[in-house]
Amino acid sequence: MKKNLFVVGVLTLVGLIGINAVDYTSGPPVSNTGAPGENTCRSCHAGFSLNPDLEASAQIVVRQNGQAVESYVPGQSYEVEVTVSRTGTTKFGFQMTALGSGNAMAGNWTAAAGTSTGNGTGSLSARRYIHHNSGGVSGTNVKTWNFTWNAPATGLGNVVFYLAYNCANNNNSSSGDRIYTSSLTLPEAVVTPEISINANPNTQYCPGNDIAVSFTVTGGSFHDGNVYTLLLSDAEGGFSSPLALATLSGTGSETINASLPEFLEPGNGYKLKITATQPTTESEPSAQTFSIGACVWPGDANNDGIVDVFDYFFVAGGYGLVGPERPQTSTLWQAAYPSEDWPANANFQGETINARYLDANGDGNVNLLDVATTVVNRGRER
């Protein structure tokens, strides 16, 4: 009986020693940085309260190409240096994570000598961690770790680096160690992409025509929630009171489709501009100018809004006239087609009309083809 009690006592003592002999030299369990929703290394290392004194210090420095930075650019990588110190300490450990807006995981890590990475579990499975390993714990009064932080591809606003570190007593157990926390907030850099309006093959329009404007975004991308607005100048190209034609949500190069209002005044100096909201910026005015003016509806030779018998008389009166060919040679009634002024006019019963309206098919000649178009479109109204 005494022998059995002795064995039980020995086993109990060994168990208690085992409990206190937990050693995380090779790396700590994840989710112990002190970030929102997490514990700290004190969940395993007992003996002192969190941040028990002022004798320890930590410094987190973020660099790019060797130069310290004060903000980050989404999608780029940075060197991170973590230095902790406490006089008399010869064994150290740490764990870090980085969280952005809404405590979302901000990017990921690339380990270097003396460090390893880990993935969160359960409700924190999206989080990524960097921490010491067995090759990165020894130091005399001070310890430095270097590794890489890969910023998220899309900006998350301010990113907070949460750090928990251990100034251990080197007794190869989890007892008697001092745990501290620190953090660094790194704001997202304000990088303003540039918008360039691409050349448009069509530079002549009628009021009411559709217009498609493509543009290119360089120097990064706009943030989620960005809205582009297509602006139209006055007839002289001025933007003191621009007209908003259309909006479009997007973050990169796009094409905005719009319709030109019916009330636009004729002019040859119209220009376009595009604005953005996230961040706020605008393009330079389009290099091209646009003409908005007199337009032909095929068959409506007297430009009164309806194709009827009177249009035949105008075509007959101007038969044989020649003028500029239209950019869009079509007889379809579906849209108006911009046309330059012709040097000649047609007359019927005292009414004078520029001969461009007689050229129903837009080929630059008033002939039988225009008579045929008038026949085909007779009865059409706009």
| pLDDT in the model for residue 9 | 39
**What class does CATH assign to 194-292?**
mainly beta
Q: Alpha-carbon distance 168 to 173, whole Å?
A: 9
| pLDDT in the model for residue 21 | 46
What string of H, E and C letters represents the secondary structure of 140-197?
CCEEEEEEEEECCCCCCCCEEEEEEEEEECCCCCCECCEEEEEEEEECECCCCCEEEE
| pLDDT in the model for residue 122 | 96
| pLDDT in the model for residue 18 | 40
Would you say the CATH fold of 194-292 matches that of 19-186?
A: yes
| pLDDT in the model for residue 19 | 38
What are the extents of the domains in the chain?
A: 19-186, 194-292, 295-376
Pairing of strands 290-292, 204-205: parallel
Tens digit of each residue's pLDDT, the chain (382 residues): 444 443 333 333 333 334 344 578 999 999 999 999 999 999 998 889 999 999 999 999 999 999 999 999 999 999 999 999 999 999 999 999 999 999 999 999 999 999 999 999 999 999 999 999 999 999 999 999 999 999 999 989 999 999 999 999 999 888 899 999 999 999 999 878 999 999 988 888 888 889 999 999 998 889 899 999 999 999 999 999 999 999 999 999 999 999 999 899 888 899 999 999 998 999 999 999 998 887 899 999 999 999 999 999 999 989 999 999 987 788 988 667 788 889 988 888 888 999 999 999 999 999 999 999 999 999 999 8
On whether the CB atoms of residues 193 and 222 are closer than 8 A, the answer is: yes
Predicted TM-score (pTM) above 0.75:
no
- What CATH code would you report for 19-186? 2.60.40.3880
Can you say whether the dihedral through the CA atoms of 197, 199, 203, 207 is positive or negative? negative
Instruction: State the angle between helix axes of 309-317 and 368-376 in degrees (0 to 180), rounded to the nearest 10.
Output: 170
SS3 label, residue 277? strand
| pLDDT in the model for residue 13 | 36
